[in-house]
Amino acid sequence: MSMVIEENIMVPMRDGVKLATDVYRPAQQGQWPVLVTRLPYNKDRRFPFEYPPFTKEKRIFLELNFDSARVVEAGYVIVAQDTRGRFASEGEFEPFVHEVEDGADAITWAASQPWSSGQVGMFGVSYQGLTQWEAAREQPAALRAIAPSQSPGWHVYPYQGGAFLLGVALGWATGVAMEEVQRRVGQGRATRAELEEMMQASGDLPALFRRLSLVDVPLLQGRAPYYFDWLAHPTLDEYWRTLIQEEFYEQVTVPALTIAGWYDHFQREDLEHYQSMRQQGGSALARSLQHLVIGPWSHGNFLRGFRERTYGAASFARDLLTDLHLRWFDHWLKGIENGVEQEKPVRIFVMGTNVWREEEDWPLPDTQYR
C-alpha cells in the first residue's frame, strides 16, 4: 500500500496556539484508525539506526520501536506532532505543563479528519510515552488505547530516591536548550554565536557536570528555566502537584500496553504505571486490560543487546514490537477479535536463557521476598 505524507499542518489548540503536525496515511481512499505520537524531539529528525550485521539506515525519530511503513500498510494513519514550543510548533515549551490539553486536542483533531475512522490510539517512547498518559487523563472521546514505552514519571524524572539525577536532568535540559537556541536563530531571536556556544557546551557535558554549585549553569538561563525549578523543588511539593494529581490513575480509562526495558532508567516508572493502573485505573476495562512487556533494552535502544552483551535474535525489537503494536491496536481500534483480551497480560524476556515468557501479573505471583 502506497503512502501519502502531509507535513507541517498547523493544528490549533484550544488557546489558539498552533502545533506542527505530520500525517502519514494510506494513499487509497478510505477512513482509517489513527495512531498519534507527540514529541519534543523533532518529528522530522533523521538519525542512524544500526542493526548488526545489517547496514545503517536513516529513520525518523518516531520509529524507535516502530516500523511506520508497515503500520501504514496495515491500514493505519500515523500523526506525529511537535509539542508546544518545539521545532515547527508555536508557543513556549514547558515540560509536562500543556500535555493534557494539547494531547486531548490533537486526538480530537485526528478523529475529525476525513481520512479518520474516528478511532484513535497513541504510541511512542520516553517523553512520547508521558504525553500518552497525560492526554488520556482528559478522556478524549475518540481515544481507545495507548502504548507508552519507557515513560518517565513526573517528580521522578529528575529525582530518584531523593537524589537529583544530574546526568539525566542536566544532559536533557542542555540538549533541549541547544535546540531552543537553534529554533530562535531561525526566528531571528538569537545569534549564530549563541548557538555555537550552546553546541560546544552540549558536546562537553562532563565539564558541566563538574560545575558547582549545580545552579551555576548560566547557559540555561532563559533557555531551560525548568532546570532551575527542578533543583529548587527536591520534594514532592506544590510545584510538582500542579503537574500531577493524586487521582491521576483514576483519570485514565483506556487499556495500555506498557513497554519497559531491563536496562532503562525509567523501568521503575513503567512498572509503577502498570501496577497502579491495574489497581486504580478509571474503568473496569482499564484495570483488567493493562499489558506489560519487559525486554533486554536500554532507554530508546531496542536492538539485540546492551553495551558488550547481546541477547540473540529473540530480543530484536523492531519487528517484535511492530507486531505487538499492530496486534494491540487491531483489537482496540479495528475491533478484530485476535485474542488480546484472553492472553496473559505480562511478557518478560528472561535474562540468561534469552527466551520470552508469559506471566499472569507483575510482580510475578510466586515471587518470594527476602
- How many domains are contained in the chain? 2
Candidate list 68, 117, 126, 149, residue with the active-site label? 126
Residues 144, 267: one domain? Answer: yes
The grid coordinates of residue 2 equal: 502506497
Residues 139, 179: one domain? Answer: no
E-assigned strand segments in the chain: 3-12, 18-26, 32-39, 46-49, 57-60, 77-82, 116-125, 143-149, 159-160, 163-164, 256-261, 290-295, 305-306, 309-310, 346-350, 355-359
The contacts of residue 228 (CB under 8 Å, 6+ apart) are 215, 220, 221
Give catalytic status of residue 126 as yes or no: yes
Is 224 within the bounds of a domain? yes
Residues 202, 272: one domain? Answer: no
Q: What is the pLDDT of residue 74?
A: 96
The one-letter amino acid at 78: I
Q: Single out the residue of 71, 129, 34, 32 nearest to residue 326, CA to CA.
A: 71
Is 226 within the bounds of a domain? yes
Cα gap 261→267, rounded to integer Å = 6
Q: What are 243's strand-pairing partners? A: none
Residues 223, 291: one domain? Answer: no
Give catalytic status of residue 216 as yes or no: no
* DSSP codes, 112-135: HSTTEEEEEEEEEETHHHHHHHHH
DSSP 250: G
> Looking at residue 147, which CATH number applies to its domain?
3.40.50.1820
Cα gap 30→116, rounded to integer Å = 8
Is 131 within the bounds of a domain? yes
231 class by beta-carbon count within 10 Å (0-12 exposed, 13-18 middle, 19+ buried): middle
Contact 362, 344 (CB under 8 A): no
Residues 20, 149: one domain? Answer: yes
pLDDT in tens, the chain (370 residues): 688 999 999 999 999 999 999 999 999 999 999 999 999 998 887 544 443 433 344 445 555 677 888 999 999 999 999 999 999 999 999 998 899 999 999 999 999 999 999 999 999 999 999 999 999 999 999 999 999 999 987 666 788 888 998 988 999 999 999 999 998 998 899 999 999 999 998 888 898 888 889 888 999 999 999 999 999 999 888 888 877 665 689 999 999 999 999 999 889 999 999 999 999 999 999 999 999 999 988 887 776 566 667 766 666 677 888 999 999 999 999 999 999 999 999 999 998 888 999 999 999 988 888 8
Is 288 within the bounds of a domain? yes
Residues 149, 288: one domain? Answer: yes
Is 244 within the bounds of a domain? no
Candidate list 98, 155, 291, 299, residue with the active-site label? 299
The contacts of residue 333 (CB under 8 Å, 6+ apart) are 33, 76, 117, 119, 120, 121, 144, 145
Residues 25, 140: one domain? Answer: yes
Pairing type for strands 290-295 and 346-350 reads parallel
Residue burial 338-361, b: 16+ Cβ < 10 Å; e: rest: eebeeeebbbbbeeeeeeeeebee
Residues 145, 20: one domain? Answer: yes
Residues 55, 199: one domain? Answer: no
Angle between helices 192-202 and 166-187 (to 10 degrees): 160
Is 264 within the bounds of a domain? yes
What's the domain range around 225? 163-233
Residues 201, 324: one domain? Answer: no
Candidate list 82, 102, 264, 330, residue with the active-site label? 264
Residues 280, 140: one domain? Answer: yes
Give catalytic status of residue 283 as yes or no: no
Is 246 within the bounds of a domain? no
Residues 132, 262: one domain? Answer: yes
Rounded to two decimals, the pTM is 0.91
Is 354 within the bounds of a domain? yes
Pairing type for strands 346-350 and 355-359 reads antiparallel
